[in-house]
Amino acid sequence: MTATTQHELVLVREMDVPREKIYKAWTDENSIKEWFVPKPWSIAEAKLDVRPGGSSYIVMQDPDGNKYPNSGVYLELVENEKIVFTDAYTSAWVPSEKPFFTGVILLEDLGNGRTKYTAKALHWRAEDKDAHEKMGFHEGWGTVADQLEEYLKRG
């Protein structure tokens, strides 16, 4: 087992929407509320400072109204191509109590308004990767990718 397979979970999809729309949906506070968690969960609040070093604050809400705040920082942004974020920091460069993963979203233009969408979760420890996989990474992130594509096709 390589270090990558010990620490990385990956989801790859081909979407029938242009990568510019996907990038905007990932970086717009209002758009992210429409697709970012598997329904019937929702996003109660989203504040995004989309720039390297900028913070993200997303509050997920379960069907019973319980709220789960998630803070993070953007590490790298390449417009319409790449978004890298982490929960290792809460704002600016203030370390979080327990970093879990770094997310990488890659958007590759396939032509004719199609995009290869790659979502990676890079974990600090193999145990965190295993826990994320058992929590339903592939199912949850897959559902979210489907919701993202459906949302963008509607709008």
pLDDT for residue 1: 46
Q: Which helix (H) or strand (E) holds 22?
A: helix 19-27
Structure tokens belonging to residue 88: 């290792």
User: What is the third-level CATH fold of 3-154?
Assistant: Alpha-D-Glucose-1,6-Bisphosphate; Chain A, domain 4 (3.30.530)
- Domain ranges in the chain are 3-154
| Each residue's pLDDT expressed in tens, for the chain with a length of 155 residues | 455 678 999 999 999 999 999 999 999 999 999 999 999 999 999 999 999 999 999 999 999 999 999 999 999 999 999 999 999 998 778 899 989 999 999 999 999 999 999 999 999 999 999 999 999 999 999 999 999 999 999 98
pTM of the model: 0.94
